[in-house]
Amino acid sequence: MIITKDHIGGLVFLCLSAAYGYYIGDISMLPGDEYEPFNAQTVPTALAYMGGVLSIALIVTASRDAADRLSLKGYDFAIVVKLLALVVLFGLALEWVGFLVSTILFLIGGYWLLGERRIKTLLIASVPFAVFIWFALSQLLDIYLAPGRLITTLFGG
């Protein structure tokens, strides 16, 4: 049996989708939200199922040619570790500075790690996207996003 990059990618994506789906039950909802057709767990549930189905499809349809065999040459694992550390920092920052600020900092940090150094490009690529996601979640879908402990301490809340 030949293991290709598609097989490994599919297995990793399947594990991530399963873990993501496992923790969906930890998302807290307001009383009575469990009877609503669309609640805080709806989109994560759909994403977990879609991730599982797509990863299984990737595993099943992966190429079995010897030329596509897994080779770890040329991969920059240092950048992967840095991006994973950035994700952990993003998770820690969510509680303290809130969704909007931590998302902006996460995107700027991610682009910077991937090689972008122009400040104007970093801001243009990060701020509008984070503001749009924040607006869509909090204003259009009426999902509560905590402003963060630091923000509430400084500005009240």
What is the rounded distance in angstroms from the CA atom of residue 9 to the CA atom of residue 51?
Answer: 12
Render pLDDT for 36-84 as a digit per residue (tens, 0 to 9).
888 889 999 999 999 999 999 999 998 887 777 777 788 889 999 999 9
pTM score, whole prediction: 0.63
Cβ-proximal residues to 101 (8 Å cutoff; 6+ apart), any chain: 93, 148, 151
- The total number of residues written for the chain in this structure: 157
Task: Give 3-state DSSP helix, strand, coil % of the chain, rounded to 5.
Answer: 70, 0, 25
Q: Which residues pair with 4 in a beta bridge?
A: 69
Of the chain, the percentage scoring pLDDT greater than 70 comes to: 99
